Every structure is written in structure tokens, then in C-alpha cells.
Amino acid sequence: MRLSPPLALAGVVVLMILTAVVAVAAYGGVRLLTIQAGDIAELPAFDPLRLRPTSTPVGVVSVAQATPTAIAAAIPTAVGGEPEPTAEAQVDPAAGYSAWSDPNRVNILLLGIDQRRGEEGPFRTDTMIVLSVDPVRRSAVMLSIPRDLWVSIPGFAPGRINTANALGDSYDFPGGGPALAAQTVERNLGIRIHHTIRVNFDLFLRAVEAIAPVEICVTETIHDEAYPDGSYGIMTVHFDPGCQPMNAEQLLQYARVRHTQGGDFDRARRQQQVITAVRDRVLSLGGVQALLAQAPALWEAAREDIQTTLSFEQMVSLTLLAQDIPRENITQAVLDANYVYFETTASGDQVLRLRGDAMRRLVSDLFNPVKMEQEDLRALAASETATLSVVNGTTTQGLAAEARDWLQARGFNVVEIGNATSSGYAHTVIKDYTSKPYTARLLASLLGLPVTAVQPGSDNATVQDIQIVVGEDLIPLLRGQ
């Protein structure tokens, strides 16, 4: 099978790293960034690049000191902090390409910026996704980071996490904006970043246009009369619920629109939905092997629109690995209201702050999972003596009572049932209100739910320790279908 050059470009660029290029789909209305004096940390005796005071605070590295060893020493111990992976695979014209051979987990920070060809930055990142690939378990994680998250930026004053890329580019930080963004993620989330990929608007359009249409299942009516049109104006965007084919422009609009009830959190979920849908589309067109013959030349054509610490050979190797990861082994998560809270700064800015304990538990479950057998979980859960509330989050009558009976038959103490405040739960949620982690994990295991189904309880919906909001996905289990 031989594909046209545009399609081959789309396949090589889009499929690599689970179609990371789609991270640019949510580019925003703010494009050029002017660095203000307040963006730089007010520390004594800064050097000309203002990256290091004379008395160096913990975690700040000067340009002269910014070796990989020094940077690693300046960053707190991070989850998944194995030695930086290296890809042993090399391009051999006779033998072809080899799959990624390093067994260590590799964490990649995907950055999306709204840059058109010919425009000069610096640019804020409107999209930040940490992609983690576990070669041994053939699994992957996508964690979206909200752009308004207020964080500590190494060497600079605290600010929104989306400014790190622009600051790094403006002040010639070693490795530029992506390197500073990576260090910012490491410092605040404790996730070791091994590689970065930064992509722009042009690459998204060229790649996705070649493989469209892509089917997307829209779950709610979306209507935005103030959607940025790409020419500094606005337009109306509308999507009706239901599965539908979308072209590249529609995919961009779907991933970018923010006027829904969940705002930026909903948008982060749609970005991940687009990434997995584009990946599925490329695989349906023949997979990576059909595209590799034209890959080197096409990669050269795309290099202006992508900046990455990965070599071309590593890109191809990871692509070969990515296509072998089953869809059910891809875990998707968003730092949403369960893990952040809204706050107004002294200057009046509306920002998000991390819920430290909840965030750390999520990061540990996603990037450093500890596999425990159900019997071990049962023993630990028994010591927690948790009380459970079960509520029906669907329009199907009787599910809360059926779930109660199912759980009580397995030894759980269900003391309350009822209906959730919403009946639109497609997926079941386990809310842990009083820190009963082993009971929550045992429930998820028995119910066949992913680790992301367990969330911190922060809405005061019950006085019980744990509440299970039954979604549509539990109907087959509860009714033996």
C-alpha cells in the first residue's frame, strides 16, 4: 500500500506519539505575548538573563550551570524519575525502522502554540498535555494541564503555567520555552519530563486535512457566537449531539471552543478525544508501516512547524510503539475541579490553584502505578471501615438499588442510596471524601473501572466516606448483560 505524500505526512506526523500534533488544536485568542517586568522574579543581584540571583535559591539554575546534571539536581524528585530514556533504534535503509527499545517509561510534554508561518513570538502555550508511554505494559497516559494554573516558574515570579514557554523563549533559557515549561511541570506536579514536543497551527492543518474526515461523537449541544476566526475576528460555531464526520477546520473548532458548562476542562477532554480519534483514523488507513518509505523527506518538510528534543529516529520508533498500544490501555485525565480550585490573585487575576493531596494521588496513580491484587486491597480496605453512598447518575430506573445489592453481596457497607444531581453520567465515578484510598481502589477494581474513576470528594454531596455515582457503563455488569 502506497499513500500519497500528504497522507504520509499526516500519518508520520500525526500518529507519532499518539498523534501528539493535535495538541495544537486548542490554540487560543491571545497570540503574541509581551513580557512584563513583574514576570521576572524579584530576587537580588540577577545575572543579565535574570535566571540566577547571587544567592541561588533552591531549584534555580543559571545559564552557565544549566547542564543536564545541574538541572536535574535543581528539580525536586519527580514521579517516573528513571534515567532519561534513550532510543537505541537507528535507521537502517536495508532493515528499515525499529521499534522503541528502551523499557523505561517515557514522559513527553506536548505544547501547542497559535503560531502561523512568518509570525514572531514569544507565544504562550494554550495547550499542555503530558503523554506518558510505558513500553513494557504497552500502555499510555494523557494528562491535560489547564493553562490558567498558577504555579512556581523556576527563576521567575509565580504565574500562569502557560507563560513558561514565552518566558523561556524571551530570556534565552537553555532549551528555550519548552525546557522551561518542562521544568515548571516537574517542579509543580512532580512528573519527570524526558522530552518535549512543541507544534503550531500550520502543522495541525496540513496534517489533519490529509486524513479527514475523522468521526467524533459529540455528547452535548455546543454553540459559541464569539469563536475566534483566526483573522482576529469572531464567528459562530455550532455542533449538535451525535457521532459525525468532521473535516480539519471542524476538528479545530470542536477542540478549541470553550463556551460549554465545563469551560476549559471540557475543552481539555475534547482535545484528548480528538487525539485518539485522529490516531484511530490513521490506523484505519493502513498504520505506520505503510508510511515509512516517505518519512525522512516529509519530516524535513514539517520541521519548521515542530520543535522537539526527540530525533527523527526516536519519533519513528515511538510511532511504531504507539500503534501497538490498545485503545483500552490509554488512560485519559484532566486536572479539573477535582484537583484544582479557583482563586483571585492580589492583582485581580482569576487563576487556578492545585489541590495538593488530590493532585499527588492522581499523578502517582497515573505515572507510578502500584499493581495490587484484589485480596491485598480487600485486607487494606477492611481496616478503613468505609461507609458508602450510591446514587443513580442515569435515566435508567433502579440502578442505585441494584448497585447497592451488588456491593452488599461483596461485603461493602452501603448505608445510603438515591439519585445524583445529574442524570447524564456515561461513566461511573467513585468520590472519596474522607481519604479511604484502598476501599476506593478496590471498588474500581471490582467494578472494572480505570484509576481515573476515583476522584476526591469535594462537593459535600454526602456525609458518607465514599459515594459511587453509577453511570451507564455499569448497566451491563449490574444486569448481567
- For residue range 58-109, what is the model confidence (pLDDT) as tens digits? 333 333 333 333 333 333 445 554 444 433 333 333 345 677 788 899 999 9
pLDDT band with cut points at 50, 70 and 90 for residue 46: very low
Mean pLDDT, residues 127-133 taken together: 91
| Residue 90 in domain | yes
Cell matching residue 219 = 455528547
The per-residue pLDDT for 56 is: 32
Residue type, 475: I
The per-residue pLDDT for 154 is: 94
User: What whole-number percentage of the chain has pLDDT above 70?
Assistant: 74
Cβ contacts of 94 within 8 Å, gap of 6 or more: none
CA angle 130, 326, 456 (to 5 degrees): 50
**In CATH, what number is assigned to the domain containing residue 87?**
3.30.420.590
| Residue 167 in domain | yes
| Residue 234 in domain | no
The per-residue pLDDT for 57 is: 33
| Residue 232 in domain | no
| Residue 206 in domain | no
Q: Lowest-confidence range among 9-18, 143-152, 249-258?
A: 9-18
Final residue of a domain: which of 340, 366, 392?
Answer: 366
Cβ contacts of 298 within 8 Å, gap of 6 or more: 5, 8, 9, 12, 13
Final residue of a domain: which of 337, 366, 395?
Answer: 366
The per-residue pLDDT for 294 is: 59
More confident residue, 263 or 287: 263
pLDDT band with cut points at 50, 70 and 90 for residue 157: very high
Q: Which tens digit of pLDDT belongs to each residue from 194-222? A: 999 888 766 777 777 777 899 999 988 99
Mean pLDDT, residues 147-175 taken together: 94
Mean pLDDT, residues 136-157 taken together: 93
User: What whole-number percentage of the chain has pLDDT above 90?
Assistant: 41
| pLDDT higher than threshold 80 for residue 333 | yes
The per-residue pLDDT for 474 is: 95
Highest-scoring range by mean pLDDT, 140-144, 283-287, 328-332: 140-144
The per-residue pLDDT for 438 is: 92
96: left (phi over 0), alpha (psi -120 to 50) or beta: left
Residues 115 and 97 in one domain: yes
Residues 173 and 303 in one domain: yes
Residues 381 and 352 in one domain: no
pLDDT band with cut points at 50, 70 and 90 for residue 288: low
Cα 372 off chain centre by:
25
The per-residue pLDDT for 284 is: 81
The per-residue pLDDT for 12 is: 41
225: buried, middle or exposed (CB in 10 Å: 19+, 13-18, 0-12)?
Answer: exposed
Residues 383 and 452 in one domain: yes
Q: Lowest-confidence range among 325-334, 379-388, 462-471?
A: 325-334
Residues 320 and 195 in one domain: yes
Contact 317, 99 (CB under 8 A): yes
The per-residue pLDDT for 52 is: 31
The helix, strand and coil proportions of the chain, stated in percent and rounded to the nearest 5, come to 35, 20, 40
The per-residue pLDDT for 145 is: 95
Residues 389 and 350 in one domain: no
Cell matching residue 210 = 490529509
Domain count along the chain: 2
The per-residue pLDDT for 297 is: 62
CA-wise closest residue to 141 among 315, 363, 372, 340: 363
| pLDDT higher than threshold 70 for residue 440 | yes
Helix or strand (DSSP H, E) at 312: helix 312-322
Residues 298 and 190 in one domain: yes
Residues 355 and 394 in one domain: no
pLDDT band with cut points at 50, 70 and 90 for residue 244: very high
Residues 157 and 29 in one domain: yes
pLDDT band with cut points at 50, 70 and 90 for residue 39: low
The per-residue pLDDT of the chain, averaged, comes to 78
The per-residue pLDDT for 253 is: 86
More confident residue, 417 or 317: 417
| Residue 268 in domain | no
| Residue 419 in domain | yes
pLDDT band with cut points at 50, 70 and 90 for residue 326: confident
Q: Which tens digit of pLDDT belongs to each residue from 346-358? A: 889 899 999 988 8
The helix/strand/coil state of 372 is coil
| pLDDT higher than threshold 70 for residue 193 | yes
Residues 101 and 194 in one domain: yes
Final residue of a domain: which of 335, 366, 397?
Answer: 366
The per-residue pLDDT for 447 is: 94
| Residue 241 in domain | no
Residues 430 and 469 in one domain: yes
| pLDDT higher than threshold 80 for residue 337 | yes
Residues 342 and 461 in one domain: no
Instruction: Compute CA distances 21 → 15, 28, 200, 207, 479, whole Å.
Output: 8, 16, 8, 8, 41
| pLDDT higher than threshold 70 for residue 18 | no
Domain range holding 465? 371-478
Note if the pTM is more than 0.85: no
Q: Lowest-confidence range among 87-96, 135-144, 188-197, 338-347?
A: 87-96
| pLDDT higher than threshold 70 for residue 464 | yes
The per-residue pLDDT for 318 is: 81
The per-residue pLDDT for 469 is: 97
The per-residue pLDDT for 118 is: 63
